[in-house]
A and B are shown apart, each in its own frame.
Chain A
Amino acid sequence: MLPMSKIKEPAILEHLERLLEFVSGCAKEKGFTSKRIKEIELATEEALVNIFNYAYAEGPGDVEIKCGLDGDDRLVIEILDTGTPFNPLSLSEPDLTADVADREIGGLGVFFIREMVDEVQYRRDAGRNILTLRASK
């Protein structure tokens, strides 16, 4: 894998836009289309919001994002936190067919992560949650 660029910020909503700008800037630099960049941003936002909401119930912490290309020319985004062990991919899929009255609020975040990128992997390593997204051009 080629060298990856990095950003580290406090894991709070106020830093969402800066983190997403980093990811969209990285994707743009690697030649991704604006449509694809929005899909990648969406997957990243959903992953980050999960971390903001759930990772650091015990006290404040950081989130780090690494971005680069893999050998297959796919964008690789690693999202790391040192919070509570949590595998977002373990969440169940939302019911996409319910109507307005029955539709549950929420539950869509992980669905979007899976839909918007080609591959998602979670691992817990050395006290860190690491979510890896891979997106082709």
Chain B
Amino acid sequence: MRKNNYPLAAVAIPLIVLFFTLGVKSMLPVLFLYIIVLPVVLILKMFNVKLEDGLILGLFSSLVIFPFLVYLISKISNFRFGVALSLLIFYITLTALFYSRKKTLRHN
């Protein structure tokens, strides 16, 4: 296995375990959790946090920030929209940070 594939293989472990223990239905919340956590992990990586640390730190910080955003957005609309927009905000932030850092690096 290539060195870079380790984190990917590692995060697949709980998914495989849940598939064999609780069935396919239980995998959906985990997959959704991964989708929520992924941009936070990548944002942390941009700030020089090691990927291995960032996976765990990203997971725990998502547990706080995601429901906070969902709560605020749901106050003016509804829960499902809150979830969708919060997710979008995560990915927009990631994209914006990615391009701003790229620009800074090019400038330097």
A binds B: no
Which residues of A does B touch, CB under 8 Å? none
